[in-house]
Amino acid sequence: MADNPSISRAAAVRQRSLGWGLRGWVVLVAFVLVAPTLVVIPMSFGAGSTFEFPPKDWSWHWYAEFFTSKQWLAALANSVQVGVLAAALATVLGVAAALALDRMRRGGGVVRQLLMAPMILPGIVVAVAIYGVFLRWQLNGTMLGFVLAHAVLGLPFVLTSVRTSLAGYDPIMEKAAASLGAPRFATLRKVVLPIIAPGVLSGFVFAFATSFDEVVVALFLQTPAIKTLPVKMYESIVLEIDPTIAAASSLIVVFTTILLFVPAVLRRKEQS
Amino acid sequence: MTAVATRPPALPQAGPGRERRRTSWLLLPAAAVVLVFFFYPLAVILWRSFTEPSFGVGNYLAVLGDEVQLRVMLRTLRTALIITAATLVIAYPYAYAMTLVGRRARSVLTLLVLMPFWTSLMARNFAWYVLEQRGGVIEKALAAIGIDGVVLLGSVAGVTVAMVQVMLPFMVLPLQSSMLSIDRSLLHAAGSLGARRPVAFLRVYVPLSMPGVLAGVSVVFIMSLGFYITPALLGTPQQALVAQVIGTQVNDLLDFAGAGALGTILLVVTLVVLAVLSRVAAPLGTSAAGGADRG
């Protein structure tokens, strides 16, 4: 016991400095995580009309192509529209369900598992199944079809994030509000919603990102009249060898990176 | 809503049963949408797999009796296993390092994991397409060290390499969250009792990290089994994986019954894996299915 302090000091020092082997491994893995994706950025400034990498000549051509092509812009607009509507629907359904599940004592677990199922089951099985039924209902190739399918896929994310924010919530506050005479709706609006607001917001963002990125179900539901951005990207590789996908990919990579890093940087500024 | 709102504030007396009755209707809209647009389609395709073209298990016998289909199944299982093992080996030291470094470095390492997680799946698959194509960076790099003529695009190897990278975040995140809860003083305790550091690590730390390992392994394995887009883009129909075959059957042949049979077999395998892993995980105080919530 006498040398305990020295052990813990040594441990503390060791905690801060990784061994060289481990350090090298971390750098390598970080490279593998990030570098392959970044290939799309130099690609997008290429001048050639193939997927050659690295490009021999440079140009803004594929950005100009992206922002002037009716097809690419329509795909982008469809993706944004489907994403916002699907996320909104998933958020409304998910918040209501999370509130109900939070108060259920029996059977809640089973229902929750069922609502989470869209996230766990293999995408291709889900896609083919939904496609089969939507063909009969004539929902394939419609905005409504995309929104419904993507809302189902986004629901688990809303459920999870709202449940997390409800974990720190004490139902007694609702009773306190009620005992002070607050009508039920006012309680919901002024007590419950502010507490779960961060969870609701992150659920919405997750659901939007899920929809915006979703390609398997979208590939089956698409028709020539309505495609989402990932579908257009898929086709530009498989059918057309159209380097505009490099510009589209770069825009998405830069956009999501900013979305991801800005909050982290802001938080750090606040702390210091 | 108004009926509820005008109810007198007698809530404190209302028992739990009352409370439940009052809020459980909030579950109905979500349940209805998921039932109609998710479980009903699954039920339909399951039904069709047993009834088209004729009633019975003909579609299943056709799959299980067809050497090509069986080979596809085995190839899919083998590929998913390789991907899972590779991501585990790559991710484990990374996740371990994440728990050792300071807060600031950890948030950087977390962001690095989250970046591909958030970046468009299509963008990443396109990047791999570019890297793996004939005359691409990987072929040139391998040629530079004396291995000539390796084109990964259009092979199961190419699919595997890309999917390992795509799946890495799903392995790192559960590993790291379970490692963060391990009390490192146990390692020092083992050391003070005479265990050498590698021994202490293997006998004390690794078993304690098993919940994270099981969660990560089950998520990655299950996702790999049913992954469609990477095999469809980087693979080849000659060495197809199950998801590709299902896609082709519906896209090219509109054979929902055959696709349904294959999909059902895939689902059963998935559920069996989940059940086995959560059975293994249960004594460890966590559920493998809980890990799947992450992704």
| ipTM computed for the complex | 0.86
Contacts of B97 in chain A (CB under 8 A): 18, 22-23, 25-26
Query: pLDDT tens digit string along B222-262?
Result: 899 989 999 999 999 999 999 999 999 998 889 999 999 99
Query: pLDDT tens digit string along A43-87?
Result: 999 988 888 888 888 999 999 999 999 999 999 999 999 999 999
B244 vs chain A: nearest CA distance in angstroms? Answer: 9
A226: three-class secondary structure by DSSP: strand
CB burial of B165-184 (b: ≥16 within 10 Å; e: otherwise) equals bbbbbbbbbbbbbbbeebeb
Q: B222 in contact with A at a CB cutoff of 8 Å?
A: yes
Nearest to B242 by CA among A231, A122, A230, A213: A122
CB B86, CB B164: distance < 8 Å: yes
Contacts of A113 in chain B (CB under 8 A): 289
CB A131, CB B250: distance < 8 Å: yes
Contacts of B29 in chain A (CB under 8 A): 92-93, 96-97
**What's the mean per-residue pLDDT of chain A?**
86
State residue A226's pLDDT score: 94
Give the dihedral of Cα atoms B70, B73, B74, B77; nearest 10 deg. -170
Nearest to B271 by CA among B221, B206, B231, B232: B221
Report the percent of chain B where pLDDT is more than 70: 87
d(CA B164, CA A30): 14
State residue A3's pLDDT score: 45
Of the listed ranges A122-126, A189-193, A251-255, B291-295, the least confidently predicted one is B291-295
Nearest to A130 by CA among B162, B69, B115, B36: B36
State residue B21's pLDDT score: 54
